[in-house]
Amino acid sequence: MITSIFVAYDPGNTTGVAWYDPIDGTFNAYQHADPINCWFWAQNQIDVLIDELDEETDFIEPHFTVEDYVGGGYRNTDSILTLKRVGYFETRISEYWGQDEWVDLRVVGSNMRKSGLRLAAELLDTTSIPGPHTLDALSHAIVHSRQV
């Protein structure tokens, strides 16, 4: 059985990352100022999910979303940092997951998360997971899951 896991990153001064399984509604989210911590947190989460599978019959297919910075006008320090982090996650995902096979990676504007905000807020309200960036990342993961 193929299990699709949707992983989304909301890069910025603080980066949010979340994964979502639309079949059983499981999820987790995290935020940190260091994007490297976010990358390794997500990889560890995926590895744990893979370890729980029956290796002979089950397979995890990760799908990725990275929120892009598409603001117009003058680029300040925050927007430049965000653009660099978008590139960091694009590169890491492509190198790690796309070397030998196809990878579903979408880079989208912040407005794409809007239809997933309500469900993401409801899910996060049942946890002690902090932060607005986790909400944005989980919203992106939910929206991506609806488009596949």
List the domains of the chain with CATH numbers: 2-147 (3.30.420.10)
Exposed / middle / buried, residue 25 (Cβ in 10 Å: 0-12, 13-18, 19+): exposed
Dihedrals phi, psi of 129, to nearest 5 degrees: -70, 125
Q: Strand locations in the chain, DSSP E?
A: 2-10, 15-20, 27-32, 59-67, 104-108
pTM score, whole prediction: 0.93
Alpha carbon separation from 14 to 7, 9, 43, 129 (Å, rounded): 17, 11, 18, 15
Contacts of residue 48, Cβ cutoff 8 Å, sequence gap at least 6: none
pLDDT digits (tens, 9 = 90+) for 32-91: 999 999 999 999 999 999 888 877 778 888 999 999 987 666 778 888 899 999 999 999
Residue 9 is encoded by which pair of tokens?
A: 């990153």
